[in-house]
């Protein structure tokens, strides 16, 4: 597997230069020393109205610390999953408020836009390396278009996708989901009260973020994996057939068997305005290699007469199913977002 790309540099309260001259990376070394030598390392667990809940790097799960952002950090955003440096009262005692003075460089960022025309992209979660696309086999029905879009977002972000099919107790399988096989998307299946060993194996020692429609069972899964997690869950609304959007903000939890899991609120769409087709392509080594033969500016879609992907299929180097599946993902970017 490719090493995660470093996508942003870290910043701290003394990094004024970073904002004045954003393009400049080669600042004198002396300016890069940490401003607060005594600051503790912590991870952002959740965010609520400007208050950050942190878990100190060396603390157990009970050691949650509330913090605010140092004013001088102003323009930089902090998201769930960020590794930060924190000073002040980090005892976690009631009523205490520590101060975040630095955000460490992010290894990955999962971004989405509200819809495809939305110029404002928001970072959903930082530092995750696996995107778990949670899909109920029934109640609510799978929405392949949303799955396609989540896959595109995962590949674009340099994250490994994992398809997690829930509620297998309600319906055994779904033929439509076979379309993800040619892409090599790993899949796990869960059912109410079922054994989760395979899921644990897939999550162990990784930072995974759960995404999916409301009501598919993301928080239920977290509760089953993390004893005491106590995430609120609730049934699908019988009138609308939709989930109730029970979870309202992202929340990161440490997995007892190693790694982290981030529960997120249900989504209806996944805006992909920010996605570069070639980023998606580079997630598939064999296809990227075939595409080196493409003419300049090739969009790799089926209507490109000289696309290298077609040549590679004709030469028996890659399967037509794999190319078709990849093209369907690319096209999902141009289709309307709403479900
Ligand atoms: N039959 C069955 N029901 C399940 C399963 N997993 C979850 N549920 C039920 O599905 C409903 C929704 O589950 P949640 O965990 O709240 O769903 P969510 O994805 O977190 O929803 P949001 O927070 O709104 O995004 C709850 O009533 C769960 O009990 C499953 O495997 N089988
Ligand atoms: Mg939830
Ligand atoms: Zn091409």
Check residue 1 and give its pLDDT: 43
Residue with tokens 């079922």: 194
Give the position, in ligand 1's atom list, of the atom nearest the Cα of 190.
Answer: 31
Q: Which three-class secondary structure state does DSSP give residue 221? A: helix
Q: Are 202 and 186 in contact (CB under 8 A)?
A: yes
Ranges assigned E (strand) in 158-212: 160-166, 187-189, 207-211
Position 336 scores a pLDDT of 59
Q: What is the pLDDT of residues 163-195, one digit of tens each?
A: 999 999 999 888 878 888 888 999 999 999 999
Which residues, chain by chain, have CB under 5 Å from ion ligand 2?
A: 218-219, 246-247
Whether the CB-CB separation of 301 and 326 falls below 8 Å is answered with: no
The pLDDT score that the predictor gives to residue 286 is: 92
Task: Spell out, as residue ranges, where the chain has pLDDT lower than 70.
Answer: 1-10, 12-35, 60-62, 75-76, 114-121, 235-244, 335-339
- How much is the pTM? 0.86
Looking only at the bridges linking them, the beta strands covering 260-263 and 40-48 are unpaired
DSSP-derived letter for residue 85 is E
Give the pLDDT confidence score for residue 62 in this predicted structure.
Answer: 65
Alpha-carbon separation of residue 76 from 23, 63, 70, 102, 312 (angstroms):
15, 26, 11, 10, 44
Q: Is beta strand 83-87 parallel, antiparallel or unpaired with respect to 98-103?
A: antiparallel
Pocket of ligand 1 (CB under 6 A): 166-167, 169-170, 190-192, 212, 214-220, 233-235, 243-247, 265-266
- Which atom from ligand 1 is nearest to the alpha carbon of 222? 15
The answer to whether 81 and 210 are in contact (CB under 8 A) is no
**What does the pLDDT read at residue 99?**
95
Residue for token pair 């490109």: 304
To which H or E segment does residue 263 belong?
A: strand 260-263
DSSP 68-107: EE-GGGTTS---TT-EEEEES--S--TT--EEEEEEPPPS
What pLDDT, on a 0 to 100 scale, did the predictor assign at position 23? 42
Predicted pLDDT at 100: 96
At 8 the pLDDT is 58
Residue-wise pLDDT for 28-48, tens only, equals 444 444 557 789 999 999 999
Which of 39, 42, 84 lies closest to 63 in space, CA to CA? Answer: 42
């Amino acid at each position: 597997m490719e090493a995660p790309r470093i996508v942003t540099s870290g910043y701290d309260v003394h990094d004024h230069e970073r904002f004045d001259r954003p393009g400049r990376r080669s600042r004198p070394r002396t300016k890069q020393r940490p401003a607060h030598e005594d600051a503790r390392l912590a991870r952002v667990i959740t965010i609520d109205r400007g208050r950050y809940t942190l878990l100190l790097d060396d603390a157990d799960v009970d050691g949650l610390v509330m913090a605010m952002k140092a004013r001088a950090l102003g323009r930089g955003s902090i998201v769930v999953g960020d590794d930060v440096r924190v000073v002040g009262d980090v005892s976690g005692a009631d009523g205490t408020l520590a101060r975040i003075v630095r955000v460490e460089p992010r290894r990955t960022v999962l971004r989405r836009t509200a819809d495809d025309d939305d110029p404002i992209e928001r970072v959903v979660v930082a530092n995750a390396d696996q995107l778990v696309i949670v899909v109920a086999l029934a109640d609510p029905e799978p929405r392949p278009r949303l799955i396609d879009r989540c896959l595109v977002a995962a590949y674009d972000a340099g994250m490994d996708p994992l398809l997690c099919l829930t509620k297998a107790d309600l319906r055994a399988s779904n033929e439509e989901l076979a379309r993800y096989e040619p892409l090599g998307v790993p899949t796990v299946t869960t059912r109410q009260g079922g054994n989760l060993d395979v899921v644990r194996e897939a999550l162990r020692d990784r930072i995974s973020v759960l995404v999916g429609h409301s009501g598919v069972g993301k928080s239920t899964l977290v509760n089953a994996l993390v004893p005491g997690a106590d995430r609120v869950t609730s049934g699908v609304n019988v009138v609308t057939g939709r989930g109730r959007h029970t979870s309202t903000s992202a929340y990161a939890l440490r997995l007892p068997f190693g790694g982290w899991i981030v529960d997120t609120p249900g989504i209806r769409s996944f805006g992909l305005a920010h996605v570069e087709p070639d980023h998606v392509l580079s997630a598939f080594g064999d296809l990227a290699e075939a595409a080196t033969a493409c003419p300049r500016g090739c969009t790799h879609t089926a209507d490109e007469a000289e696309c290298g992907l077609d040549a590679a299929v004709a030469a028996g180097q890659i399967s037509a199913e794999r190319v078709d599946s990849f093209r369907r993902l690319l096209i999902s970017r141009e289709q309307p977002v709403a479900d």
